[in-house]
Amino acid sequence: MQEKKAKNEPYVLQVEAGKTYYWCSCGISNQQPLCDGAHQSTDCIPLEYVATKSEKIYFCGCKQSENPPLCDGTHTKL
């Protein structure tokens, strides 16, 4: 199954230092940009992201970033 684009812009999320987040790589999670287990019907797996500091993070929404789970601007070329 091919990845699905969740949206054509990044998701801005305030993360907490030391906390682990699981970025949805399949695009079908109802809790974008985070995984809710919906990928179990696909070959996709969520990507672990451990916050090194508390800050705003721009998680990829188009699921095509060359630097997942972070947005690299690829959505502007789709």
Would you say residue 2 lies in a domain? no
Confidence of residue 78 (pLDDT cuts 50, 70, 90): confident
Q: CA–CA separation, 53 vs 30, rounded Å?
A: 26
Report the Cα–Cα distance between both ends of the chain, in Å, rounded. Answer: 19
Would you say residue 6 lies in a domain? no
Would you say residue 64 lies in a domain? yes
pLDDT of residue 2: 44
Label residue 5 exposed, middle or buried (CB < 10 Å: 0-12, 13-18, 19+). Answer: middle
Query: For the segment 14-73, what is each residue's pLDDT rounded down to a tens digit?
Result: 999 999 999 999 999 999 999 999 999 889 999 999 999 999 999 999 999 999 999 999
Bigger pLDDT: 78 vs 33: 33
| Whole-structure pTM value | 0.89
- Enclosing domain of residue 35: 11-77
Would you say residue 30 lies in a domain? yes
